[in-house]
């Protein structure tokens, strides 16, 4: 039986969650703390507002913005905000435990030994299971945040786009069995290092890294050198899962990549996954720590390449032209202001006239969420009016059409070729 069939027993639905939204403000405000000229290490504070914007899907399959005034309360779980990099994963975070419809302020403390850049993102517990899983939506600040002093960087606003079935038209989800016979998996979750409190989430994951499909929260009892708790979780017969556990070791009541993860063991320190379920199974102990988050410590990939001009160079464009490359949530339609572009973007990289007029190619590198879909486009603002995608202004897309580009778990190389500028005669 497939993992998809397992969804019926645990009541978890795959839908359009997992989309990523972005802030319109890509110019953080630095607050001087008297650190000018200092060398590392640096202690920076990143602040802003994180807001969840809700949408539904209409009969034509198009997104429809939901008027917040029609809702009496925030419909989802917690929001986690983190500064992260590929080497270390999360290096500072803040958890919004009771988000509001209007958005909430956050503050993330970051320590760097030397100057560098971080990716700032937020993730919503859309399924309200206490675990940030593969289908929980992410929002990013659309450019890297550079830290080169001990200072406060403010106005780093983040938007998360989240699907919400406001009228119940998608069927309400789950239920029905669908031929899936339930089986129980039980055992002990064993924390094998010093324990100072915090619950454990035991979960079933698809062997493809999707999920979690079911979660059982338990409260361990300290044993002096560690802690343990019995668990029992439902699964589907004749299915295969990864059986894992995570300890809320930072005490924020949410399982994130920054927590302490473990796996089902055949013997001490021996990962026994995947688990094939042929009947009720007991004695399925989980060791924590063992391994890391199945969602990755840095759930992003890069899209990189070169932008060029077909049979020409950038200097052939009108003086003061600028070039912008963006990974977007939707296919662009009609004229766009730069503010609108940033609202639509997972990430934007821009080049002004001084950076392009002597070049034949422009290298670019965008950081985007893994496991989603982006629309990769490059634009030229040829008349220097702050608007792009006009009737005569050159554009380029990843596939020469919609620009649709799936992101998996590996970095992507994609070159873009712009056309020549052909003004009205």
Per the CB < 8 A criterion, the answer to whether 114 and 290 are in contact is: no
Instruction: Give how far the C-alpha of residue 353 lies from the chain's centroid of Cα atoms, to the nearest Å.
Output: 33
Eight-class DSSP state of 314: G
Q: What's the number of CA atoms in the CB half-sphere (13 Å) around residue 149?
A: 12
CA quadruple 5, 11, 12, 16: dihedral sign: positive
- At residue 8, the pLDDT reads 33
Integer angstrom CA distances of residue 272 from 264, 285, 290, 291: 6, 10, 11, 12
pTM of the model: 0.79
- At residue 16, the pLDDT reads 40
Instruction: Give how far the C-alpha of residue 349 lies from the chain's centroid of Cα atoms, to the nearest Å.
Output: 19
Query: Over the stretch 253-280, which tens digit does the pLDDT of each residue have?
Result: 999 999 999 999 999 999 999 999 989 9
Integer angstrom CA distances of residue 307 from 352, 378, 379, 389, 410: 14, 8, 10, 16, 21
- Phi and psi dihedrals of 325, rounded to 5? -120, 135
CA quadruple 276, 208, 78, 12: dihedral sign: negative
Mean pLDDT estimate for the chain: 87
Report how far residue 255's alpha carbon sits from residue 293's, in angstroms, rounded to the nearest whole number: 10
Per the CB < 8 A criterion, the answer to whether 132 and 250 are in contact is: no
363 has a pLDDT exceeding 50: yes
- At residue 167, the pLDDT reads 76
Considering only CA atoms, which of 141, 109, 104 is closest in space to residue 122? Answer: 141
Retrieve residue 265's tokens.
């063991």
**CB contact set of 197 (below 8 Å; sequence gap of 6+):** 251
- Phi and psi dihedrals of 370, rounded to 5? -75, 155
- At residue 114, the pLDDT reads 92
237 has a pLDDT exceeding 80: yes
Task: Find the mean pLDDT for residues 228-245.
Answer: 96
Query: Over the stretch 166-184, which tens digit does the pLDDT of each residue have?
Result: 877 764 433 333 458 899 9
Buried b or exposed e, range 105-122, using 16+ CB within 10 angstroms: ebebebebeeebebbbbb
- At residue 38, the pLDDT reads 64
Integer angstrom CA distances of residue 66 from 71, 79, 163, 168, 283: 9, 19, 10, 13, 47
For the purposes of burial, counting CB atoms within 10 Å of the CB of 24, is it exposed (0-12), middle (13-18) or buried (19 or more)?
Answer: middle
CA quadruple 253, 256, 260, 263: dihedral sign: positive
Query: How large a percentage of the chain has pLDDT more than 70?
Result: 88
- At residue 321, the pLDDT reads 97
Report how far residue 89's alpha carbon sits from residue 278's, in angstroms, rounded to the nearest whole number: 37
Report how far residue 413's alpha carbon sits from residue 416's, in angstroms, rounded to the nearest whole number: 10
In DSSP terms, 185 is beta-bridged to 233, 281
Examine residue 41 and say whether the peptide bond preceding it is cis (omega within 30 degrees of 0): yes
Considering only CA atoms, which of 16, 20, 11, 14 is closest in space to residue 57? Answer: 16
Retrieve residue 272's tokens.
């026994």
Region of poorest pLDDT, from 148-157, 176-185, 354-363:
176-185
Task: Find the mean pLDDT for residues 26-51.
Answer: 74
Buried b or exposed e, range 168-182, using 16+ CB within 10 angstroms: eeeeeeeeeeeebee
């Amino acid at each position: 039986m497939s993992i998809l069939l397992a969804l019926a027993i645990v009541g978890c639905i795959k839908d359009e969650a997992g989309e990523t939204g972005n802030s319109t403000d890509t110019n953080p405000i630095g607050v001087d703390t008297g650190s000018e000229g200092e060398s590392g290490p640096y202690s920076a504070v990143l602040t802003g507002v994180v807001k969840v914007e809700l949408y539904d899907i209409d009969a034509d399959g198009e997104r429809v913005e939901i008027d917040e005034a029609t809702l009496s309360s925030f419909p989802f779980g917690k929001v986690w905000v983190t500064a992260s990099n590929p080497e270390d994963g999360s290096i500072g975070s803040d958890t919004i435990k009771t988000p509001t419809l209007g958005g909430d302020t956050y503050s993330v403390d970051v320590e760097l030994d030397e100057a560098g850049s971080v990716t700032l993102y937020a993730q919503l517990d859309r399924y309200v299971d206490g675990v940030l899983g593969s289908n929980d939506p992410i929002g990013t600040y659309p450019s890297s945040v550079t830290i080169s002093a001990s200072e406060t960087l403010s106005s780093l606003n983040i938007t998360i786009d989240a699907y919400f079935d406001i009228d119940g038209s998608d069927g309400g989800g789950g239920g029905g069995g669908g031929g899936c016979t339930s089986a129980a998996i039980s055992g002990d979750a064993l924390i094998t290092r010093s324990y100072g409190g915090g619950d454990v989430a035991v979960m079933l994951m698809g062997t493809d890294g999707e999920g979690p499909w079911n979660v059982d929260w338990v409260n361990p009892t300290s044993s002096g050198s560690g802690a343990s708790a019995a668990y029992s979780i439902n699964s589907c017969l004749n299915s295969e899962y990864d059986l894992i556990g995570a300890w809320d070791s930072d005490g924020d009541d949410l399982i994130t990549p920054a927590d302490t993860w473990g796996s089902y063991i055949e013997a001490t320190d021996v990962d026994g996954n995947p688990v094939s379920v042929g009947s009720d199974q007991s004695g399925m102990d989980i060791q924590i720590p063992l391994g890391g988050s199945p969602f990755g410590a840095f759930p992003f990939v890069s899209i990189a390449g070169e932008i060029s001009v077909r049979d020409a160079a950038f200097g052939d464009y009108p003086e003061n032209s600028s070039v912008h490359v963006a990974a977007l949530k939707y296919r662009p339609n009609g004229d766009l202001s730069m503010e609108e572009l940033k609202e639509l973007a997972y990430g934007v990289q821009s080049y002004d006239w001084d950076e392009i007029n002597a070049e034949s190619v422009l290298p670019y590198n965008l950081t985007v969420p893994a496991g989603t879909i982006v629309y990769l486009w490059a634009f030229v603002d040829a008349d220097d009016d702050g608007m792009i995608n006009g009737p005569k202004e050159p554009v380029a897309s990843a596939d020469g059409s919609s620009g649709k580009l799936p992101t998996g778990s590996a970095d992507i190389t994609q070159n873009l070729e712009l056309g020549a500028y052909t003004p009205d005669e």
